[in-house]
Structure 1
Amino acid sequence: MAERTIVPAARCVALPDDLDDITAAAIANPGMSSWAALTERARIRPGESVLINGATGTSGRLAVQIARHLGAGRIIATGRNPAALGALGADATILLSDDDAALDNAFGAQIEDGIDIVLDYLWGRSATRLLATAARTLVDGRRLRFVQIGSVSGGEIALPAAVLRAAAIEMLGSGLGSVPFDRLISVIGELLRASTPAGLSIATRILPLSEIAHAWSATDDHRRIVLTPG
């Protein structure tokens, strides 16, 4: 790490005048994950319903705000922390309990009400239950775009082949590779330009670069650490 480096001009994004440097540094990466997933992969349309699986982390909290800004008509958030879920401003929430039957019922009720897009930050058990429930619940050719973004709950799942045959589930990934690098740069520019008009917010913790060792081992308090020269 260094206070200065050389970056190709094609990888630079001009910051809007109404966005402060700290917010720009903090929001670019976690915000890009849902912005790219919704615009480049799911191709969200105004009024569509979005379920965010794993909405209480930094990226997930921003995903709720970004989905709203991009025109989602209804937002469903999942997570393990009831208090954090309640503070997200989502239209509905699902507590990721250890009770499979309760979780399946909660997913099923929301899918019956209509879900067009899933942004999955977790993978693991909750993704498996969600996909299996969707296979049983989706009827009459209704489609679900499932966009895989992160794997906080595990890198692998055991998914029966019948799940993908039983319903119109489109499995998509979003990240470097599924989205070309130049498009990711453009996405970051779009995100930064929209941050102030959309009122996107992110909790930050500012530390000088000289305290990088402390920052690396700091307890996660859901604030994005931003390092400044010094």
Structure 2
Amino acid sequence: MLKLLTLLYLTGLKTVFVPQNNDSLLNKTFLLWNHVTLKSLEGQYAVAAKDRQKKDYDNRIFGFKALMELDDAKSVNKNSLRYLFLQQVLPRIKSKNVFIVEANMMASVHVLRNFLIYKADNDTSMVELYIYLREKGWYKKGSTRIHGLKFDTPLSQYLVSFGKGFTYEDVIISHFGTDNEITITSEYYLFTTLSAESDVKKLLDMYDQNAFDSH
């Protein structure tokens, strides 16, 4: 069963600039987000040491396109899960430096979940949890402040050798920065390649403890 989790570093093309004064900002951001994620996957496929890992990355490239309902890298599918999510959170992306952790659960019940993270103050981050349900679409399940939560670029610092990471499903981490324009960087982490030293582990542990349910 193809495992695909979503949380974003870009191999090769490291930063993409999106003009904020463009009327089609949403469409451009969507296309570039997909583009950098695919570039990350393709870059890791190119350097994978073993045929099994290459096959896994090849499957992920196919699976990512299927999950996001991408006909091609230049199409804007307004029904895709990423597009629908981006519609909700773009105002925050335009005004803050944010990280998006797309972290789907592929257990007995398939849960599509995204974490949106931005600084509340110097020592505290605000984390918003979004869940996707077919009948409701994306909805904000809750939010919480987390002291000491740390996400930094380059996101490649959280990438470890196959088998050395803590996740048994895939993760993508994305960073959206703002400085007169939106910049996007991305890293795709194949299962067991995301370091336990990343604070993604803290996020997922808090999810398991229902930390977002009452906020």
The question of a shared fold, defined as TM-score above 0.5 by the shorter chain, is answered with: no
TM-score range, shorter-chain basis? under 0.3
- Structure with the bigger percentage of helix: 1
TM-score, length-normalised on structure 2? Answer: 0.27
TM-score, length-normalised on structure 1? Answer: 0.25
- Structure with the bigger percentage of strand: 2
